[in-house]
Amino acid sequence: GEDVEQSLFLSVREGDSSVINCTYTDSSSTYLYWYKQEPGAGLQLLTYIFSNMDMKQDQRLTVLLNKKDKHLSLRIADTQTGDSAIYFCAESITGANNLFFGTGTRLTVIP
């Protein structure tokens, strides 16, 4: 079955770049997503990438997709304390409307 893996924790200093990594197993992925969850809030879509792309940039966020290795990453430039949250990697696959998620990575930004 579909399997999405992420590391559980990441700590960075304010102003540094954060890189959150994700691997997946299903080669029929169509879109890959990054969701952010702040305390007490729902999962908020941050960005997504179509599986035919290898990079997408949106302000401080850069998404890299290595389809051969089934590896997705989210880079946050100039990380701020407000970026502290849980970041979920998710994929959608051909023939299914639900999303497949990882465990989430808790990003802690140290002032």
Residues that bind another protein (CB under 8 A): 4, 8, 30-31, 35, 40-45, 48, 50, 88, 90, 92, 94, 96-104
Q: Could you tell me if 10 and 20 are in contact, meaning their C-beta atoms sit under 8 angstroms apart?
A: yes
Closest distance between another protein and the C-beta of residue 78, in Å? Answer: 25
Q: Could you tell me if 88 and 73 are in contact, meaning their C-beta atoms sit under 8 angstroms apart?
A: no
Q: Taking Cα atoms as reference points, which of 25, 18, 43 lies closest to residue 104?
A: 43
Closest distance between another protein and the C-beta of residue 14, in Å? Answer: 26
Closest distance between another protein and the C-beta of residue 97, in Å? Answer: 5
